[in-house]
Amino acid sequence: MVGRGIINRYERQIEDAKEEKVDLEKELAQIKDLLSPKGEIEKQAEMIRKVTRRLPSSSDAPGFLNTLMLSLRTTGIIQEEVKPETTSDESRLYTEIPYKVKALGHYHAFGQFLTLIEQNPERFMRVKNMTISNSELRPSIHPFDIEIETFIFNN
pLDDT in tens, 112-126: 999 999 998 878 889
DSSP-derived letter for residue 100 is E
Tens of pLDDT along the chain (155 residues) come to 667 778 888 889 999 999 999 999 999 998 888 777 777 888 888 887 777 777 776 666 777 888 888 999 999 999 999 888 887 666 677 788 899 999 999 989 999 999 999 998 878 889 999 999 988 888 889 999 999 988 887 76
User: What residues does each domain of the chain span?
Assistant: 2-54, 61-153
**Domain covering 61-153 assigned CATH 3.30.70.60 in the classification:** yes
pLDDT in tens, 7-37: 888 889 999 999 999 999 999 998 888 777 7
Work out the angle at residue 32's Cα, subtended by the Cα atoms of residues 30 and 36, and round it to the nearest 5 degrees: 120
Burial class (CB within 10 angstroms; exposed 0-12, middle 13-18, buried 19+) of 59: middle
